[in-house]
Amino acid sequence: MKSLKFIVLFFAVISIQLQAQSPDGYDLWLGNSAIEVSEFEKEYKTFTTSVYFQSDSEMLTVAEQEMKNGLEKMLGQSLDFTKELNSNSTLIVAKKNALKTEILNSISSDFDKLGEEGFIIKTIKVKGRKVLLVSANSDNGILYGVFRLLHLMRTQVSLSEINLIDAPKVDIRMLNHWDNLDRTVERGYAGFSLWNWQKLPEYIDQRYIDYARANASIGINAVSLTNVNANALILTPMYIEKVKALANVFRNYGIKVYLTARFSAPIEIGGLETADPLNASVQTWWNTKVSEIYKEIPDFGGFLVKANSEGQPGPQNYGRNHVDGANMLATALSPYKGNVIWRAFVYSEHDDTDRAKQAYAEFVPYDGRFKDNVLVQVKNGAIDFQPREPFHPMFGAMEKTPLMMEFQITQEYTGFSTHLVFLPKLFEEVLDSDTYQKGKGSTVAKVIDGSLHNNKITGVAGVANIGTDLNWTGHPFAQANWYGFGRLAWDPYLSSNTIADEWIKATYTTNKEFVEPIKKMMLSSREAVVNYMDPLGLHHIFDTGHHYGPGPWVNNLSRPDWNPVYYHKADTEGIGFDRTPSGSNATEQYAKEIEKLYNNPKTIPEEYLLWFHHLPWDYKLKNGHTLWDGIALKYQEGVHQVEAMITTWENAKSFLSEEEFNEVVMLLKIQLKEAKWWRDACLLYFQTFSQRELPEGVEKPKETLEYYQSLKFPFAPGIRPRWN
Ligand code: GCW
């Protein structure tokens, strides 16, 4: 008997060690390796001597399992969870309604702050003994509390005096997958789509469960499964059954499923002759379709719609407008409390005004006309997910419409999944921007969380960077972008510094010697990509179609606003897009305070300079350099920043397994090569206009401009497939 015990123990230890060493990244930030020599290990063990977990629902059973697995792996011992809450309990995980009065008395007012999804983690005294309590008003809150507690232990935070109350500030915290039914992913760089439509509904891949766990651990509570360049087939019964199978998995993790609705679906799969939103039979078709969906998926979230944008069908095909289209779908969804998320990413081939102005011009007049269950989803900037964009002026202009933020987590314009770019830094910059809509302090975060305008419903969406790659995101550090997105959707006031800190500690180690330099590297990585791709407000100068690499020279596309030359406007005089009153006057879409600041090249923050101004090559920057020299030096700085990232990573080697270390080294080397490629190609091209030498300190390009222009990448990943 004794020897059997020994063998079991021996294998348990081995498996803990393997877990700790598993470097493939599949565990994300949830790797529950045995806690390294931790000053809190004793404390955690004391708190887990007798655990009571209220598990009287499916969701709570899932949460209990998560907790048990996590604790056992971290503490390296098996734990007994008691069925009864008793006087020996050291850790109590239970909803408010299951707590005894003596406990409730000490915390009852806290529950008012929790809403439907918040939780409390608090050490309380029961009869002179310390007890750790995780509580909430709902199952959902408990689930989030469990994940947070495990995170706190994983990142070695003392629990002995903990008093944490946390609740999400945003209602819909959503991933948008741009996944096609053939499993390709538009702008996806991490393999194929997770959704194995052919094997669904019967075959439930473990990945679906682990994906849901990861999302729940950071508070993501909604996913749109399909590409916004939509295929109507997803709304047919065969696919609804498959979607139902996924929804059944996700439900226990508090996640609602949304689908993208192709506006012309009534024609394509319904046999109607029109999709006119004001046509009664079209409305009836959608009503019926929605009721079919809710019959199978009672908590279905609703539709995400890209309409009359980049060739997608929409209400304008019938002389109607966005309000008509969105409200028609909202009418169908509202009996079930479903939502319409209507995208504002529109710019028209028939409109030759500045593309940056078009969404605002089209949507702002509709403020107040959308139904209550419509949210308008706006990209963070007015062009398209560039490494840096000023915040979208719509965020300061629609008081009566819930505006949902759309960030891009997948790195379409920031180096695919080969570049280490920590995007929460970008997200934070946008959320912290002041719209001045209701005076100073009217930040985008306050628009998004509804506090500025008292919105009844709020949301944040991120275009997912997840696929079938073993580590989910391609680049191990791209996991931090998924993580950080979720954290910011939960609390748009979190700092990127805090997020990086949490992620590094949960993913690698809590050792300061590792955490501090790696954090510094992550936090500077976003500025690096801006510098080596789009310094000083340059934008949209990537190559055609696949968007891989530089293409500032491209000028032959059918629509002017698809050509990079439209955006940089380089000529022998200078460079930049004049969006002041002497140009397109896009600045007038911002509040007066910003307009004034931005109209003047001397007062605009220089990171936006060429976004709003066309300036001579000899224009003097704040640091005394001419514009030409300044651009060149920024490109060079970006390259140096990547070199510094490599050094940082090399110095961290002793904390990493061979595999973990090498994987990132190889990726950083590609990043360096591509940073140089961007620098050289852009500078050689712009030099044909500036006619000036490269300043001292900027490396001479190794190739000619013609060489860079000749590069072709017909098989670059993430390329747009045929849409229908
Ligand atoms: O940036 C562009 C992308 C398209 C995408 C579009 C959008 C889904 O290049 O691939 O289409 O934005 O956001 O609709």
Question: What pLDDT digit, counting tens, does each position of 162-173 carry?
Answer: 999 999 999 999
Ligand 1 centroid from CA 454, angstroms: 31
Nearest alpha carbon to residue 28 among 451, 494, 507, 407: 507
- C-beta separation of 300 from 338 below 8 A: yes
pLDDT tens sequence across 602-630: 999 999 999 999 999 999 999 999 999 99
Q: What is the pLDDT of residue 38?
A: 73
Ligand 1 pocket test, candidate residues 229, 378, 386, 567, most atoms within 8 A of CB: 229
Q: What are phi and psi of 374, to 5 degrees?
A: -110, 130
Quote the DSSP letter at residue 381. Answer: B
3-class state of residue 84 by DSSP: coil
Bridge-based pairing of strands 222-224 and 256-260 is parallel
Q: What is the pLDDT of residue 8?
A: 44
Find residue 123's DSSP bridge partners. 132
pLDDT of 22 strictly over 70: no
Ligand 1 centroid from CA 309, angstroms: 9
pLDDT tens sequence across 570-592: 999 999 999 999 999 999 999 99
Q: DSSP labels for 136-199?
A: ESSHHHHHHHHHHHHHHHHTT---TT-EEEE--S-SEEEEE--B-TTS-BTT--SSS-S--TTT
Separation between Cα atoms, residue 185 and residue 570, nearest integer Å: 34
Side-chain half-sphere CA neighbours of 62 within 13 A:
22
Q: What is the pLDDT of residue 32?
A: 74
Separation between Cα atoms, residue 637 and residue 528, nearest integer Å: 7
pLDDT of 18 strictly over 70: no
Label residue 109 by pLDDT band (50, 70, 90): confident
Ligand 1 centroid from CA 537, angstroms: 21
CATH topology of domain 32-166: Chitobiase; domain 2 (3.30.379)
Label residue 105 by pLDDT band (50, 70, 90): confident
Using the atom order of ligand 1, give the atom closest to the CA of residue 720.
10
Ligand 1 centroid from CA 427, angstroms: 18
| Smallest CA separation from ligand 1 atom 3, residue | 187
Q: What is the pLDDT of residue 37?
A: 57
Nearest alpha carbon to residue 723 among 349, 260, 410, 348: 260
The predicted model gives 183-204 an average pLDDT of: 98
Ligand 1 centroid from CA 588, angstroms: 26
CA 393 from chain center: how many Å?
Answer: 20
Can you give the residue ranges of every domain in the chain? Answer: 32-166, 172-507, 531-577+614-710
Ligand 1 pocket test, candidate residues 263, 343, 384, 416, most atoms within 8 A of CB: 384
Separation between Cα atoms, residue 460 and residue 448, nearest integer Å: 7
**Tokens encoding 622:** 């704040």
Q: What is the pLDDT of residue 723?
A: 42
Using the atom order of ligand 1, give the atom closest to the CA of residue 227.
8
- C-beta separation of 534 from 386 below 8 A: yes
Strand order in the sheet with 163-166: 81-82, 51-53, 91-95, 129-136, 119-126, 163-166
**Tokens encoding 523:** 């936090």
| Smallest CA separation from ligand 1 atom 2, residue | 384
Q: Does domain 172-507 have CATH number 3.40.630.40?
A: no
Q: What are phi and psi of 650, to 5 degrees?
A: -60, -35
| Smallest CA separation from ligand 1 atom 7, residue | 345
Ligand 1 pocket test, candidate residues 262, 305, 343, 345, most atoms within 8 A of CB: 345
Nearest alpha carbon to residue 421 among 456, 465, 453: 465
Ligand 1 centroid from CA 229, angstroms: 8
Ligand 1 centroid from CA 466, angstroms: 16
Q: What is the pLDDT of residue 36?
A: 66
Separation between Cα atoms, residue 459 and residue 450, nearest integer Å: 9
Label residue 721 by pLDDT band (50, 70, 90): low
| Smallest CA separation from ligand 1 atom 13, residue | 345
Mean pLDDT over the full length of the chain: 95
CA 711 from chain center: how many Å?
Answer: 31
* Residues whose beta carbon lies within 6 Å of some atom of ligand 1: 178, 186-187, 228-229, 306, 310, 345, 384-385, 412, 720
Ligand 1 centroid from CA 264, angstroms: 19
Label residue 108 by pLDDT band (50, 70, 90): confident
Using the atom order of ligand 1, give the atom closest to the CA of residue 406.
13
Say which residues have a Cβ less than 8 Å from residue 547's Cβ, sequence separation at least 6.
187, 412, 413, 718
Q: What is the pLDDT of residue 20?
A: 40
Using the atom order of ligand 1, give the atom closest to the CA of residue 385.
1
Helices 424-432 and 479-490 meet at what angle, rounded to 10?
30
| Smallest CA separation from ligand 1 atom 12, residue | 384
- C-beta separation of 359 from 347 below 8 A: yes
Separation between Cα atoms, residue 721 and residue 514, nearest integer Å: 41
Say which residues have a Cβ less than 8 Å from residue 712's Cβ, sequence separation at least 6.
none
Q: What is the pTM of this model?
A: 0.96
Say which residues have a Cβ less than 8 Å from residue 56's Cβ, sequence separation at least 6.
none
Which of 78-82, 162-166, 252-256 is the least confident region?
78-82
Using the atom order of ligand 1, give the atom closest to the CA of residue 408.
13
Using the atom order of ligand 1, give the atom closest to the CA of residue 178.
8
The predicted model gives 127-137 an average pLDDT of: 95
pLDDT tens sequence across 664-684: 999 999 999 999 999 999 999
- C-beta separation of 176 from 227 below 8 A: no
pLDDT of 10 strictly over 80: no
Using the atom order of ligand 1, give the atom closest to the CA of residue 187.
10
Long-range residue pairs from 203-206, CB within 8 A, at least 24 positions apart, any chain: 204/245, 204/249
Q: What percent of the chain has pLDDT over 70?
A: 96
Separation between Cα atoms, residue 351 and residue 334, nearest integer Å: 34
pLDDT tens sequence across 532-569: 999 999 999 999 999 999 999 999 998 899 999 999 99
| Smallest CA separation from ligand 1 atom 11, residue | 229
Active site residues per annotation: 310, 384, 412
pLDDT of 498 strictly over 70: yes
Q: What is the pLDDT of residue 87?
A: 87
Ligand 1 pocket test, candidate residues 177, 179, 187, most atoms within 8 A of CB: 187
Pairwise pLDDT comparison (19 vs 253), residue with the higher score: 253
Q: What are phi and psi of 125, to 5 degrees?
A: -105, 125
- The CATH number of 531-577+614-710 is which of 3.90.1330.10, 3.30.70.580, 3.40.50.10860, 3.40.50.2000? 3.90.1330.10
